[in-house]
Amino acid sequence: MFIATLIAADRLSADDISQARDLLAEAGAEILGTDWIEREKAVDIRFTGDLAGARNALGALSGSIDVIVQAETGRAKKLFIADMDSTMITVECLDELADYAGFKPQVSAITERAMRGELDFVAALDERVALLEGMDEEIVTRCHIERVALSPGAVSLVRTMRAHGTHTVLVSGGFTLFADRVAAEIGFDRAIANRLEISAGSLTGRVIRPIVDSATKRRVLLEETERLGLAREDTLAIGDGANDLAMIEQSGLGIAYRGKPKLRDAADARIDHGDLSALLYAQGYPRREWVES
């Protein structure tokens, strides 16, 4: 049996639910029932049929509604792997650092192309970091304080999942100087990220090897899955760019959050309208069960 979870950015109506049921029926699904998770906010439609066909059909649902379709068994995940920049936080840290150095337009353009999968990630990272050579390392702390904001729903998502026994890992192609702080603020069990080389209190313009890239993210997902004795279906991964593609494809449920086209096409589901708390509804947690601080 499968579940299609409809999550509204504002208000979920009876018409929205009726449209979703009709789309599923047209795709050959047998509707078994409809249950509110949170009235006028999130609802489950249980059905039997073809998973891929149901996902494709519900892509035509109108309105500011995110839809996550999955097997009912194992919907509450036991491992959560998340990207950081533009996913768990609202900015790209490297772009913001570059702004202090006066290079943001150049760096942002490279970042955008890299996240779309148009450039090699490692080469693009090296090119951007090289522009930061000579920057005082204290600027990183200032940048974090002044520019980094947690994405809405991030704290509730991670802390609620941990309260229900989920292991949570932040894996970023960004930098430990940001990721360690972000992981602590949100409540992740572990953070993995790249390390900026620093000499005499200044950035050298180089990234210490090995690089945390797409292959690293996938490997962390596989290693943690094996270490915890989990099945693939027990895992959830989320990201926004091409660098997240391998872990999204490897996870039991892969989510594109405001994702770039290449990732959106590969993900099992997308969050385009609501915030990260949509993933709590997708796992069947009503708001009264959330940990919000």
% of the chain exceeding 90 in pLDDT? 99
How does pLDDT run across 85-101, given as a tens digit for each residue? Answer: 999 999 999 999 999 99
Q: What is the pLDDT averaged over residues 175-180?
A: 98
CA dist list (Å): 199 to 65, 96, 97, 182, 212: 49, 21, 17, 24, 21
The domain spans of the chain are 1-73, 76-293
Active-site residue, 50 included: no
How does pLDDT run across 247-288, given as a tens digit for each residue? Answer: 999 999 999 999 999 999 999 999 999 999 999 999 999 999
Look at the pTM and tell me if it is higher than 0.85: yes
Whether the pLDDT of residue 293 is over 90: the answer is no
Q: What is the pLDDT averaged over residues 227-235?
A: 98
Q: Mean pLDDT across the chain, nearest whole number?
A: 97
Active-site residue, 83 included: yes
The CATH topology of domain 1-73 is Alpha-Beta Plaits (3.30.70)
The CATH topology of domain 76-293 is Rossmann fold (3.40.50)
Tell me which of 85, 95, 240, 244 is the catalytic residue.
Answer: 85
Tell me which of 16, 44, 66, 83 is the catalytic residue.
Answer: 83
Q: How many CB atoms lie within 10 A of CB 55?
A: 18
Residue 146 CB partners (closer than 8 Å, separation 6+): none
